[in-house]
A and B are shown apart, each in its own frame.
Chain A
Amino acid sequence: DGGITQSPKYLFRKEGQNVTLSCEQNLNHDAMYWYRQDPGQGLRLIYYSQIVNDFQKGDIAEGYSVSREKKESFPLTVTSAQKNPTAFYLCASRGLGSGAKNIQYFGAGTRLSVL
């Protein structure tokens, strides 16, 4: 089945620890995105990438890092510099080109909590 796979579903971070959230897609999409979702707030963009080996900061990039070494994969690292990491993290992807219609498709999410 084609889709976006996020893992793990639940993740716990200790003080001062970096943790990495995985996002893999087999939709052959060029663009990938990371969002953060907090209760009562809209989704906020952390980072996005339109092509391999290139990515841009979103609105709340501080305390996060990403890489895009393969088209299928866009992992997100939550660093110790992110002081309030507890949230629901969503990965999305989008095909580029006139047929893609700008639609972003989402994975099932990773819930990160601080121990």
Chain B
Amino acid sequence: EDQVTQSPEALRLQEGESSSLNCSYTVSGLRGLFWYRQDPGKGPEFLFTLYSAGEEKEKERLKATLTKKESFLHITAPKPEDSATYLCAVPQGGSEKLVFGKGTKLTVNP
């Protein structure tokens, strides 16, 4: 069964304290891995998609990387406005469905 596991469930950082979020997956025939940001009471906002091992994408303080078994979302010198839940998802093998992890809730304190 295709699965996506995100860790940690919650992460508290001080402003400027860099860290990484993890997304491990098991899926047959990876057709992309997606990162979303979700603010409370809002819909997920697309951040990145990665398609092959070794690929990296960057946006402001965020950098996503991909290996054959997991992806990392690195947050460099975070600010309080980076506080959100970060979701990871992969397409289920051979179908239209996206399998989502439960998310990592990031809190950045000033």
Q: Which A residues are closer than 8 A to B by beta carbons?
A: 4, 6, 31, 40-43, 45, 48, 50, 56, 58-59, 88, 90, 92, 101-109, 111
Contact = CB atoms under 8 A, between A and B. Distances in A.
B42 A42 contact: no
Contacts of B49: 101-103
Contacts of A109: 41-43
Contact of B32 (A6, A102, A106): A102
A108 B34 CA distance: 18
A48 B98 CA distance: 11
B41 A42 contact: no
Interface of B: 4, 31-32, 34, 36, 41-46, 49, 87, 89, 91, 96-103
6 contacts: A41-B102, A42-B99, A56-B96, A58-B97, A88-B41, A104-B98
B42 A43 contact: no
